[in-house]
Amino acid sequence: MSQSNNDILLAISTPPFWHCGRTIRQNSLHTLLALAPAAALSLIQWGVPAARVMALSMVAAIVTEAVCQILMKQKLSQDNGTAAVTGLALAFLLPASAPWWLTLIAAVCAMGVGRMAFGGYGANQVNAALVGWALVFVSFPIPMDPNAAVLHTSLADPLFRAKFFGGAAAADFPLADLLLGRQLGGLGATQTGALFLGGLYLALRGVIRWEIPCAFLAGTFLVASAFHLADPELYAGPLFHIFSGSTVFAAFFLATEDSCCPHRRLPMTLYGLTGGALVMLIRVFGVYADGAPFAVMLINLLAPMFALIRSHPFGTGPRKAKRTSDNEGRARS
Amino acid sequence: MKQYFQLIKDPRFRLVQNDHRPFIDGPAPRRVRLNREGFAMVPGVKKKTLVSPGTLLAEHPSPDKGDLHSPIYGVITEINARSVFVDAMDPAEAEPGAFPPLPEPADLLRQGLEGEELVSAVKKLGVNTRSLGRRAKTLIVNALNPEPGVRWAEPMLVEHADEIRACLELQRRFRRADEILLAVPTGCSVRFSGIRAVEVEPVYPNSVNELLIKEVTGEEAPPDVAAVGLHNVWSLGRVALTGLPLTETVITIGTASNWANFVVKNGSLVGELLEFLHISLQNGDTILRGGPLRGESLDRLDRSITKGAYGFFVVNAGEVPPIEGDSACVNCGACIVACPTRIDPRMLSRYAEFGKYNMSRKENFRLCVDCGLCGYVCIARRPVLQYIRLAVKRLEEEERLAGLTPLEPVGKA
Ligand code: SF4
Ligand code: SF4
């Protein structure tokens, strides 16, 4: 038995030799799994059009990534699933009525401009799906507006109502309806209940860091409460704002894109709080009904600033004793 | 609930197993390979020389590195720049007097040597005194298993209490520290008279000396505290008890499914150990000396267990996602979250990747305690720790060279 040991080829590796098992691919698969319930509910609600948008967006994202990687002479990495995740996330933000060309443009821009232009997965400063979404949202406002599209639905856009008919209109939307996605908006982003559960799953799995969604939702909650208390007639309550539109989706799935957010606890908390607060500020003062995607883009851009907040590295902190000069020497070395 | 949100949920990172297995004596080696890098061979020791257990083979010029002794009866078959090979022989088969006499035991405890005299006596018996702790007010004996997977610390506290007691006595006589503390895992009831015990949460990386000091004193990098690992303590204690040169080491041998603690001869070939344990390897397996987080992988089966090694592990192909040398950092931040010294392994590894070693200075690369967690959590499977080690090595080399020339800036033409 041991004789054979002499003939085998050993693999040389570098420490550590154990690994947590978490890989990019695994994280993507978990994310897709977390998005699955929302996607399923969306299919039930919108049927074939939603399926079409989701499939087209994912395929276009994957193909764009592959083409860019070939042009950039990079290793093909479609098997790690990140393009599929971005494609699906993007589709979640589009209305189910999105025409094929709109979906295509959004997906190609998301992968091309949002990600590959920066060098590939993990190099982008702003969430790639949001870049694609923002480009078409600003360029083609009419087909992007679910209120304007001809959809055979009795659903209404809660944020649209709240914005233009006052906070009292929010009463038309029971919380249960919002949670079950009976609202008009992005085809998947409005499945807030399912997304909340999916997000929870990701946080428990450690794929996303819980501090960000917690702080994000807390930010929305606090600012929405403040407005609501100031004038309940004009401004809807905090739960309405959390579970309408894409706040939950943004908190769990958009704001948490690893390369666009800070990683230490205090910066993550501030980043989340700012994002959550911005959602409300845009919803109240901005021209757009749903502020969440823009809020995430803004905090993405602010992330490097938040990341500057960090504690002293090990043993270099200020010390009470006379040793401080010594420490400075260490810190600088 | 807490554990669910954590980045590292590996139960193996708990450093106590509550599974006491007795130490097993390793196989009698057929051949040993001893590392002689930095050593000067003793005159008269050359190829074909017959040696006995404890025969001095080489001396180290540094006063705090232990000398090299043969662990077995045998004949020297090869001496090269890095290693000395000894093939085992049965002394009964040779003519009487052919082998050098066994060394006389030196009873260090009875002799009453102290301070530097004791240090040099210990060095002559093959113990590295450098790793026994520098001069400090407080010396902490780190009785935690040094790494996940390594499991000899708990049984050692019980089974080898005599060695530890003897070592602690010698440590006192070194007069390097005013106070000696023993850091034991929380819940461990082992105590030694005259030594204050401190309980430490037995979770990796708390067993890394720098972090252990923080756990014990509550202060990060306090200037007057040093730590010494139980492995070194055992070595010194063994020498103190036997009075003979150090020719053995304690290791945990572990595979994915099993583990055991052994006392093996220094220089035992890993191939012989695998054979002894009936472990058969497959193509693509990795074998490593040291621990699973900080050890080094071996390329051949005729590599050996060196003096300071505390473990030998087999990681089967497919057990962990394969490491990819050239995979780019995806900024996931896992390493930043995991790093116990709050430096930025992400940027450090990138600087090293692109050869910008100088940038590493800004990032406090020197604070890295080499715990390996950054590589353990990297979702892109980058060799993060290796990059950082590379940077540290490069910069230290640079500084050493810079130290050879006057420090005043030299005018450039
Ligand atoms: S090995 Fe990695 S995680 Fe550990 S201290 Fe060094 S940089 Fe930080
Ligand atoms: S864990 Fe790896 S991929 Fe993630 S930031 Fe660190 S080095 Fe980059």
Q: Quick one: A75 exposed, middle or buried, by C-beta within 10 A (0-12, 13-18, 19+)?
A: exposed
Pocket flag, ligand 2, residue B332 (CB < 6 Å): yes
What's the whole-number mean pLDDT along residues B370-386? 91
The number of the ligand nearest the C-alpha atom of B343 reads 1
Lowest mean pLDDT among A316-325, B106-115, B278-287: A316-325
Residues A74-92 pLDDT 10s: 888 888 899 999 999 999 9
- Residue B141 DSSP SS3: strand
Lookup result for tokens 């959590």: B377
Beta-strand ranges (E) seen in B64-115 are: 68-69, 74-79, 83-88
Amino acid identity of residue B298, one-letter, is: L
Question: How is domain B248-315 classified at the CATH fold level?
Answer: Ubiquitin-like (UB roll) (3.10.20)
B361 to chain A: closest CA residue: A333
Number of H helices and number of E strands within chain A? Answer: 15, 0
ipTM of the complex: 0.87
Compute the Cα dihedral for A291, A297, A298, A303 and give only its sign.
Answer: positive
Whether chain B has a CB inside 8 Å of the CB on A18: the answer is yes
- Residue B111 DSSP SS3: helix
Q: What pLDDT, on the 0 to 100 scale, is given for residue A231? A: 87
Q: Is the pLDDT of residue B408 over 80?
A: no
Nearest CB among A1, A258, A264 relative to B332 is that of A258
A331/chain B closest Cα distance in angstroms: 7
List b or e across B353-388, with b for residues whose CB sees 16 or more CB atoms inside 10 angstroms. beeebebbeebbbbbbbebbbbbbbbbbbbbbbbbb
Q: Is the pLDDT of residue B346 over 50?
A: yes
**Strands B24-25, B259-265: pairing kind:** parallel
Whether chain A has a CB inside 8 Å of the CB on B395: the answer is no
Contact map slice: B 267-296 vs A, CB within 8 A: 271, 274-275, 278, 280-288, 290, 292-296
Q: Is the pLDDT of residue A207 over 70?
A: yes
Q: Quick one: A71 exposed, middle or buried, by C-beta within 10 A (0-12, 13-18, 19+)?
A: exposed
Domain boundaries, chain B: 2-15+110-242, 31-93, 248-315, 334-401
Q: What pLDDT, on the 0 to 100 scale, is given for residue B325? A: 62
Q: Is the pLDDT of residue B373 over 70?
A: yes
Preferred mutation among B3, B259, B281, B395 to probe A, highest tally of A CBs within 10 A: B281
Name the band, by pLDDT with cuts 50, 70 and 90, for residue B6: low
Nearest CA residue ID for atom 8, ligand 1: B339
**According to DSSP H, which parts of A206-264 are helical?**
211-230, 238-243, 247-249
The dihedrals phi and psi of B74, each to the nearest 5 degrees, come to 175, -170
Distances (CA, A) of A37 to A40, A85, A187, A198, A244: 5, 14, 13, 7, 17
The dihedrals phi and psi of B182, each to the nearest 5 degrees, come to -115, 120
Q: What is the DSSP string of B345-391?
A: HHHHHHHHHTT-HHHHHHTTGGG-----HHHHH-TT---HHHHHHHH
Q: Is the pLDDT of residue B83 over 70?
A: yes
Q: What is the DSSP string of A89-139?
A: HHHHHS-TT--HHHHHHHHHHIIIIIIGGGTSTT--SS-HHHHHHHHHHHH
Q: What pLDDT, on the 0 to 100 scale, is given for residue B76? A: 94
Amino acid identity of residue B161, one-letter, is: A
Q: Are B227 and B139 in contact (CB under 8 A)?
A: yes
Distances (CA, A) of A230 to A233, A236, A277, B72, B91: 9, 11, 16, 86, 96
Residues A120-139 pLDDT 10s: 898 899 999 999 999 999 89
User: What is the average pLDDT value for chain B, to the nearest integer?
Assistant: 88
Lookup result for tokens 């505290």: B225
- In chain A, the domains with their CATH numbers are 25-307 (1.10.3430)
Q: What pLDDT, on the 0 to 100 scale, is given for residue A94? A: 92
The dihedrals phi and psi of B195, each to the nearest 5 degrees, come to -120, 125
A239/chain B closest Cα distance in angstroms: 25
Amino acid identity of residue A296, one-letter, is: V
Residues B353-365 pLDDT 10s: 888 888 888 788 8
Residues B152-168 pLDDT 10s: 998 999 899 999 999 98
What's the whole-number mean pLDDT along residues B134-151? 90
Whether chain A has a CB inside 8 Å of the CB on B317: the answer is yes
Rounded Cα distance between B383 and B376, Å, is: 9
Rounded Cα distance between A186 and A144, Å, is: 9
Q: Is the pLDDT of residue B173 over 90?
A: no
Q: What pLDDT, on the 0 to 100 scale, is given for residue A325? A: 42
Name the band, by pLDDT with cuts 50, 70 and 90, for residue B404: low
Q: Is the pLDDT of residue B200 over 70?
A: yes
List b or e across B197-226, with b for residues whose CB sees 16 or more CB atoms inside 10 angstroms. bbebebbbbbbbbbbbbbbbbeebbbeebb
Contact residues for A263 (Cβ-Cβ < 8 A; gap 6+): A209, A307, B333, B334, B336, B337
Q: Is the pLDDT of residue B2 over 50?
A: no
Cα(B351) to centroid(ligand 1), Å: 15
Q: Quick one: B234 exposed, middle or buried, by C-beta within 10 A (0-12, 13-18, 19+)?
A: buried
Q: Counting atoms of ligand 2 from 1, which one is nearest the CA of A122?
A: 3
Rounded Cα distance between B42 and B70, Å, is: 12
**Strands B286-289, B196-200: pairing kind:** unpaired
**According to DSSP H, which parts of B204-331 are helical?**
209-217, 230-242, 270-276
Here the contacts of B278-283 (C-beta below 8 Å, separation 24 or greater) are B278/A1, B278/A2, B279/B255, B279/B314, B280/A1, B280/A2, B280/A4, B280/A5, B281/A4, B281/A5, B281/A8, B281/A10, B281/B314, B282/A8, B282/B316, B282/B317, B283/A8, B283/A9, B283/B317
Q: What pLDDT, on the 0 to 100 scale, is given for residue A59? A: 95
Contact map slice: A 99-158 vs B, CB within 8 A: 119-123
Question: How is domain B2-15+110-242 classified at the CATH fold level?
Answer: Rossmann fold (3.40.50)
Number of H helices and number of E strands within chain B? Answer: 13, 17
Q: What pLDDT, on the 0 to 100 scale, is given for residue B353? A: 87
Q: What pLDDT, on the 0 to 100 scale, is given for residue A328? A: 41
Q: Is the pLDDT of residue B180 over 80?
A: yes
